[in-house]
Amino acid sequence: MIGNILVGLVALIHCYIVYLEMVLWDTPRGRKVFKLTPDFASASKVLAANQGLYNGFLAAGLFWGLYLGAAGFQVKMFFLLCVTVAGLYGAATVGRKILYIQTVPSVLAILALWLGW
Tens-digit pLDDT profile for residues 48-85: 999 999 999 999 999 999 999 999 999 999 999 999 99
C-alpha 95 chain-centroid distance: 15
Q: Are 44 and 20 in contact (CB under 8 A)?
A: no
Phi, psi of 36, deg, nearest 5: -110, 150
**Predicted confidence (pLDDT) per residue in 97-113, tens digit:** 999 999 999 999 999 99
Q: Are 55 and 21 in contact (CB under 8 A)?
A: yes
C-alpha 103 chain-centroid distance: 9
